[in-house]
Amino acid sequence: SQQGEEDPQALSIQEGENATMNCSYKTSINNLQWYRQNSGRGLVHLILIRSNEREKHSGRLRVTLDTSKKSSSLLITASRAADTASYFCATDQRNFGNEKLTFGTGTRLTIIP
């Protein structure tokens, strides 16, 4: 069963606007990671946030984690056409005996030039 669900499933915004994607998960985690995937291609690792962290920044990306609500958000600021892709959150339960990453359903982001 899926660990994570993402919201919204699809998002279209104008270039230059900010995009926010949310992810919810069900069980305790070691860390949460966000990946980007361009149209059926490889998964590119964007950012990792540990379970004891609440916020993390990397360039135009900002990730928050609320373990009490079992949710995370990814904010992309000043969006560009090249940001058009699907974005997945993935949870790692390594400390709980699972090595695998469990992915959310993904958000398909379209940036309109």
Partner 1 sequence: AAGVIQSPRHLIKEKRETATLKCYPIPRHDTVYWYQQGPGQDPQFLISFYEKMQSDKGSIPDRFSAQQFSDYHSELNMSSLELGDSALYFCASSLRGDSVETQYFGPGTRLLVL
Binding site for partner 1 (CB under 8 A): 2, 31, 33, 35, 40-45, 48, 50, 88, 92, 94, 98-106
Residue 14 Cβ vs partner 1, minimum distance, rounded to whole Å = 25
- Which CB sits closer to partner 1, 17 or 41? 41
Residue 3 Cβ vs partner 1, minimum distance, rounded to whole Å = 10
Residue 106 Cβ vs partner 1, minimum distance, rounded to whole Å = 6
Please name which of 83, 74, 67 lies closest in space to residue 8, comparing C-alpha atoms: 74
SS3 81: helix
Cα separation of 48 and 34, whole Å? 7
- Which CB sits closer to partner 1, 26 or 100? 100
Phi first, then psi, for residue 82 (nearest 5°) are -70, -10
